[in-house]
Structure 1
Amino acid sequence: MMSSRSVGRLFGLWRKRRRHRRVVKTYFEQRGEGIGYNGNGIITDRLKEQKVENNKLKIDILKKEFPECFDRDGNFNLEKFQWIISPETKVFKDSYGLNWLGKSYARALAQGEARKMLREDVEHNSKEENRDSENLYIKGDNLEVLKHLDSGYREKIKMIYIDPPYNTKSGEFVYNDNRDFSAKELNKLVRSNIIDEEEKERILKWEGNSSSHSAWLTFMFPRLYLARKLLTEDGVIFISIDDNELAQLKLMCDEIFGEENFIANIAVVNNLKGRSDDEYIATAHENLLIYRKSTSYSTYGIPMPEDYIKEYDLEDCNGKYRLQGLRKRGSNSKREDRPKMFYPIYYNQETKKIYLDENEGSIKIYPKLSDGSDGCWRWGKATAVERIDELEAKYINKRNEFDIYQKDYLIQNGEQRIVKAKSFWLDKSFSSDAGTKSVRELFGTKVFSSPKAVDFISYCLSQGIKDEDIILDFFSGSATTSHAVNKLNLEDGGNRKWIMVQLEEELSQKSEAYKFCEKEKLPKNITSIGIERIKRANKQMLDEEETKNQEDFDRIELEKKLGFKIFGIDNKIKELDEMIEFTDEITLPEHISLTNNDRLDLVHTYKLQDGNFLNTEIETVKLSWEKTVVGGDGSGTYIYEGYRVGEILYLIDSISSSKVQSKIIEKIDNDPEFEINKIVIYGFTNTIGKYRVELEENIKNYNNKKGANIEVEVRY
């Protein structure tokens, strides 16, 4: 038997399956075992299946939209493609873009698979307030986490906000991500013409705190590339950045998201006094780049400011309103610009009524420019007829004539009007001081340097997400984003979900955060601060809510609303090639021993791969039968536990009896609620072929007999 401490070695093999596929396959072939069965008589090898070509998704899109551009062998006819799109699109060969030493390496990082397993914080997640929560806090390198999220959350995230480490002149860019391409692996990239020798040597010299533009861009590219895949088609990303990398980041985002999807670069004043240590100009702002995923995105706008609301100083039976001139102003405002928008509107001064057709006793009112020439209305005549109740005539003393105005109501469709955000954000509550004050109130000391302000994040949220949407922050730091989302949900009763991702960076022993963690007996890293901030902010908000609404306050239910689950990347797993020399004579253990947590970690990781959310419920499936105990006191009950997520059954423990497959088939036949279309077997606990082959054959026979299509897959 192998202890659970050795599980990491086997997880490591899962991690290295691309490199060692041939060796593992040879091992199973020597044992005379099939690798897997897909239910249609086709043997499948999970190791091969997971070697997906980098551009497969894009090729699939082309095949779907332009099937006529592919021949029977799958070759793409570029000339035909250009001919198809040429009437609408100009094809060009020369372009302006961003290149740096390390770009090919960055692309390789973006295309690699997740290399480690997810690990659940069982104690925290089993608490009543967290058990059913859809909010997630994930500890670990965000590149690894993004790769895990890619299957389960692809095109599911409505909004992303990130505040990545800035690449300052003082070399403060530090993010100890595990860019674990060894010299041997880099040589492989060279041989594959992915990178050249010069790039390889430069990469090997990079350190985690390199402050060069190339190092920073190489760090950011794969993360943004993966982030885009997670966004919904109408999704949006907000990125805070200073001036040092703004130009480079803008070009990179143009490449990843598309130039046409750039929305704005907002100047956010976060230091009203300006930085006195700047040499020439006291910088008072930072930048906020906003990109949409596609043209499907539309902003939700921002709540109307108080000074705007004051303009709505008139009122009728439909509510408060202000008057806006119906005449078109600015460009294209002349009669010849929009001739159909030039027509008379009739007004009866005695009855105060407006007509679109000539009416006895009424005067004609035409759209006139300030110089007396003919202009045009903003509405066509059909719209004016439909919305005539919104029109009002007003006498203009200066011009000695009447003009037509539209009643612009404050409340429309039951909701107060919103406005577009401006490109310059100035509000004291957005400042770094406001963010620092908020965190200090929670901890009683300064545990975080320049955290983002809650109101600033809330302002972003109002433009990007609505009820039930998911927001992701994969540089979550002090967890301001989760604080802002929870606050917004409490205020309007919404059910927005958040995912926070943060590297477990060690804290400086001189910092207040380190002293706080030491006092509270918490791990001395930044994730302890983030998690504790969420808990303390939740308590603070609930206490305030209880004070305001004592009669209707239900603390238990609201605690569930603000709850969250914690997961992490298992950093204890070592590289397999540090422990095992791979040769054709490799021998693998017959059995391994897994703890219950090990089993659940595997299922959590697998269910994400199969397109489920991380919080999707795992159902334990117990298969039991009576068996004779050899040399014992007669018979006893044997229980084999599998795990079901949706329509997938995961068999993690060793299948050591023919009864397992017979009980599975029996359950499928007799339990109408037990519907499955795939059985996933953990390969390392099932290296003995007899019972696994029996399962594959039995499922194959069941499919043929019942007309079912249950797939069997071996996974590592």
Structure 2
Amino acid sequence: METKINDAIRQALQQFGEKYFIEEALNKNKVIQDLDNYDRDLLEAFISNETLKSNFTINVAGNIVMQTNKLIELFEADEYWQDSYTKYSKKIGLTAGGKFIDESTDVVLDFPYKDTVLKASMSKEDTDKDDLRPDEPFLNEVIAKEEIDVLLDNKILVNAKKYDKSGEHEVDSFSDEDNLIIKGNNLLALHAIKEKYFGKIKLIYIDPPYLFKEHKEEDTFNYNSNFHMSTWLTFMKNRLEVAKELLVEGGTIWISTNEDGMHYLKVLADTIFGAEKFLGTTPRRTRYGKSDVPFNYSQDFDFLLAYSNVDEQNQVIGRRVERDYYISDDYPNRPWRLADLTTQRNFKERPNSYFTMIDPKTKKEYPASKKRTWAVTKETFQHYYDNGYIVFPDDYDFLNITKPYARKFKDEDLASGKLSSVISDFAIKDFLQELLNNSTNRSGNDELNKLIENETFSYPKPENLIKSILEVSTNENDIVLDYFMGSATTQAVAHKMNRRYIGIEQMDYINTVSVPRLQKVIEGEQGGISKDVDWQGGGSFVYVELMEKNRGFLKSIRDTKTQAELHSVFDFMLKEAEIDFRVDLEAVKETLHELSFDDQKRTLIKIIDKNQLYYNYSEIDDENVRDLISDSDYAFNKSFYDEGGE
């Protein structure tokens, strides 16, 4: 693989003639040896090369220091130096990863491509039938650093429109209060919004392509879901890492996954968010049994993995429960409720709380339990009783209790702001009820079909699933992100619940299903959770697209019918398209005519740089690019990236 860094290294080494080459093959063992020995001439050659200097040096107190360890790691990556000459002199032994085992000091859980970025286009227009599909390279984070920087740079946004109750309008500016829908590859779109939304997102909910042992109809999206394990982990890793940067302090991310991928995803997510930031696993019923299943065992659940970015002492989720309060003559202006007056600790753990409580009025005795002592101590009992915080069975005729309870005043409940815990609190058992019984795939499908004639989504998530998550993890005006937008369930629910939202989707159904669904939400549709939240319509959202670059060439190649049309497209590609940096373009020119028509199409598709499918924002003022952008879209980009107008 010839990257810019590889090319710079060869230029530096060629200054030494045949010293680092055997015929034309690189003698990388010699290079590693000299780097390890800090060869002065070699280090000077590397530092003199601007590409190598910018990628492999650091400035320490005004001094340039070469990071030889990174260079050595690069040379030990055999897959990037396939024509190299490798020889271990004076030593024979077992090796792993280019190093002798007795030299290794680390043992790690590893998977291929973990140090790579995979754009992973999800669209069928990028991966189509008849093997006319592009190869999407894994870009190594060290070797292809410059290529990755270009790949993940901000993108030009076009076709900006605002949708509200009066319809669709052209828009030339963006407000921080606007809801945002983006059409384009989600990894690239996430990086495009990273600076604007860094540390601002309260909730991320995603329903990514599941990892399946074999393709199943339960896959929610018409995506390329048949990933190999390492590919799927890389695909998820790249996106979760940038998503983590978008979360506000105390925000949460909820990931839908299936049983095949759940445990692998848990290990990966632990490394990204921290195992100590894991909130828990919540099951969701997807169906009610199926007979034709492997091992005759019907797995009727998928799962939600939830993480935060703060420690367990923080209240990142919870619910404000509507409680019933009593009003009594002794506290006429202070409604109150009962709460448990015992604690989970036993008499050995809390000896001061293991005592017989006596009602001061009736003198009746109430012994403590050895397993659950009182929540107050013998010394503090009188204080709590005098201030009205303890209620005895004989205090009120309307109470039917047999032991002392704690009294909680409504004004203190409201002042504390404390939320009830999720799931474990008896008062909010409806959270689990929704997930275990009322959030099946069929429910989601029925909801969508009532709004839009739909053949794209077999199993969209139901609105009450998203409502349950938003209720326990967000407040009104918080920002919600779903970068696997699909049929826009998350965005529809967030809109109805007065949350701000961002949705990202690459597939073309964004304009036939997702956006039309949100338009109906604005019009006041009454499906899903609408009646529960008294939804009456209103609101707006802004729609934009990442500006296409090479994707147009992919379509043109597929659409050609004759050799003449194909050669015309190839000529245009040579002038305007970005070609994969690994391709020997001269060899393609010389041999293309020798191939069949279909093989010529396959070849041209494969040589296009799939990581240059969109224009970077840094190109917006280039003369040839500026002519392709409307004045309103130009102004919108300047507004979105906070650079002012023209």
Instruction: Name the counterpart of 1:298.
Output: 315
For the pair 1:407 / 2:407, whether they are aligned, the reply is yes
Give the aligned length: 453
SS in 1 for 2:522: helix
TM, length-normalised to structure 1: 0.53
SS in 2 for 1:245: helix
1:98–1:251 Cα contact (<8 Å) kept: no
Shift of 1:347: 3.2
SS in 1 for 2:116: helix
Give 2:423's match in structure 1, choosing from 409, 421, 426: 421
For the pair 1:594 / 2:626, whether they are aligned, the reply is yes
1:236–1:291 Cα contact (<8 Å) kept: yes
Distance 2:185 2:623 in 1: 31
Instruction: Name the counterpart of 1:563.
Output: 540
Give 1:257's match in structure 2, choosing from 246, 270, 273: 273
Instruction: Name the counterpart of 1:394.
Output: 393
Distance 1:441 1:569 in 2: 31
Instruction: Name the counterpart of 1:237.
Output: 253
Instruction: Name the counterpart of 1:333.
Output: 346
Shift of 1:211: 2.7
Give 2:439's match in structure 1, choosing from 414, 424, 430: 430
Distance 1:96 1:379 in 2: 51
Distance 1:380 1:291 in 2: 41
Shift of 1:606: 5.8
Tell me: CA distance 1:53–1:135, structure 2 relative to 1, closer, same or farther (3 Å). farther
1:471–1:498 Cα contact (<8 Å) kept: yes
Instruction: Name the counterpart of 2:181.
Output: 137
Distance 2:506 2:475 in 1: 28
Tell me: CA distance 1:212–1:225, structure 2 relative to 1, closer, same or farther (3 Å). same
For 1:313-392, what aligned pairs fall within 5 Å after superposition? 315-316=327-328, 317=332, 323-328=338-343, 330=344, 332-334=345-347, 336-341=348-353, 347-349=359-361, 363=363, 368-369=368-369, 375-378=373-376, 385=383, 388-392=387-391
Structure 2: gaps spanning 5 or more residues: 9-49, 67-103, 119-138, 396-400, 425-430, 554-571, 582-618
Tell me: CA distance 1:297–1:529, structure 2 relative to 1, closer, same or farther (3 Å). farther
SS in 2 for 1:421: coil
Distance 2:531 2:622 in 1: 61
Distance 1:286 1:209 in 2: 16
For 1:202-221, what aligned pairs fall within 5 Å after superposition? 210-221=226-237
Structure 1: gaps spanning 5 or more residues: 1-15, 22-47, 60-69, 77-92, 178-207, 351-362, 490-495, 506-524, 613-643, 652-716
- Structure showing greater relative contact order (alpha-carbon pairs closer than 8 Å, 6 or more residues apart): 1
SS in 2 for 1:483: helix
SS in 1 for 2:497: helix
Distance 2:402 2:226 in 1: 69
Per-residue CA distance 1:196-235 (angstroms, 9 max, x = gap): xxxxxxxxxxxx5643111211211100111101111211
2:164–2:519 Cα contact (<8 Å) kept: no
Distance 1:156 1:364 in 2: 56
Per-residue CA distance 1:34-69 (angstroms, 9 max, x = gap): xxxxxxxxxxxxxx99x997999xx9xxxxxxxxxx
Tell me: CA distance 1:174–1:429, structure 2 relative to 1, closer, same or farther (3 Å). closer
Shift of 1:153: 1.0
For 1:14-413, what aligned pairs fall within 5 Å after superposition? 98-106=109-117, 112-113=148-149, 114-115=152-153, 117-124=155-162, 134-171=178-215, 210-274=226-290, 276-295=292-311, 297-302=314-319, 304=321, 315-316=327-328, 317=332, 323-328=338-343, 330=344, 332-334=345-347, 336-341=348-353, 347-349=359-361, 363=363, 368-369=368-369, 375-378=373-376, 385=383, 388-394=387-393, 403-408=403-408, 412-413=413-414
Q: Which amino acid in 2 is paired with 1:258? A: G
Shift of 1:245: 0.8
Shift of 1:151: 1.2
Shift of 1:604: 4.8
Give 2:501's match in structure 1, choosing from 485, 498, 501: 498
Distance 1:549 1:148 in 2: 33
TM, length-normalised to structure 2: 0.58
Shift of 1:448: 2.1
SS in 1 for 2:210: coil
Tell me: CA distance 1:169–1:143, structure 2 relative to 1, closer, same or farther (3 Å). same
Distance 2:382 2:488 in 1: 50
Distance 1:454 1:230 in 2: 24
Q: Which amino acid in 2 is paired with 1:144? A: L
SS in 1 for 2:404: strand
Shift of 1:322: 5.0
Q: Which amino acid in 1 is paired with 2:316? A: T
Q: Which amino acid in 2 is paired with 1:448? A: F
Distance 2:631 2:531 in 1: 44
Q: Which amino acid in 2 is paired with 1:119? A: L
Q: Which amino acid in 1 is paired with 2:390? A: L
Amino-acid identity (%): 20
Distance 1:55 1:457 in 2: 47
2:476–2:497 Cα contact (<8 Å) kept: no
Tell me: CA distance 1:590–1:124, structure 2 relative to 1, closer, same or farther (3 Å). closer
Q: Which amino acid in 2 is paired with 1:221? A: K
Per-residue CA distance 1:382-430 (angstroms, 9 max, x = gap): 697368323111269xxxx984311246783188974422595545431
Instruction: Name the counterpart of 1:440.
Output: 449
Per-residue CA distance 1:280-312 (angstroms, 9 max, x = gap): 31111111000001227523423549xxx6xx5
1:270–1:284 Cα contact (<8 Å) kept: yes
Shift of 1:272: 2.6
1:116–1:571 Cα contact (<8 Å) kept: no
SS in 1 for 2:349: coil
Instruction: Name the counterpart of 1:354.
Output: none
Tell me: CA distance 1:432–1:171, structure 2 relative to 1, closer, same or farther (3 Å). closer
2:211–2:225 Cα contact (<8 Å) kept: no
1:319–1:409 Cα contact (<8 Å) kept: yes
Tell me: CA distance 1:17–1:577, structure 2 relative to 1, closer, same or farther (3 Å). farther
Instruction: Name the counterpart of 1:540.
Output: 524
Distance 1:547 1:461 in 2: 17
SS in 2 for 1:348: coil
Instruction: Name the counterpart of 1:183.
Output: none
Per-residue CA distance 1:79-102 (angstroms, 9 max, x = gap): xxxxxxxxxxxxxx9998642112
Stretch moving more, 430-439 or 539-548: 539-548
1:342–1:366 Cα contact (<8 Å) kept: no
SS in 2 for 1:471: strand
Shift of 1:437: 1.2
Tell me: CA distance 1:543–1:402, structure 2 relative to 1, closer, same or farther (3 Å). closer
Shift of 1:452: 0.5
1:117–1:605 Cα contact (<8 Å) kept: no
Tell me: CA distance 1:346–1:209, structure 2 relative to 1, closer, same or farther (3 Å). closer
SS in 2 for 1:251: helix
Distance 1:150 1:482 in 2: 19
SS in 2 for 1:440: helix
2:308–2:316 Cα contact (<8 Å) kept: no
For the pair 1:482 / 2:516, whether they are aligned, the reply is no
SS in 2 for 1:420: coil
RMSD: 5.0
Distance 1:381 1:237 in 2: 45
Shift of 1:594: 3.1
Shift of 1:348: 2.8
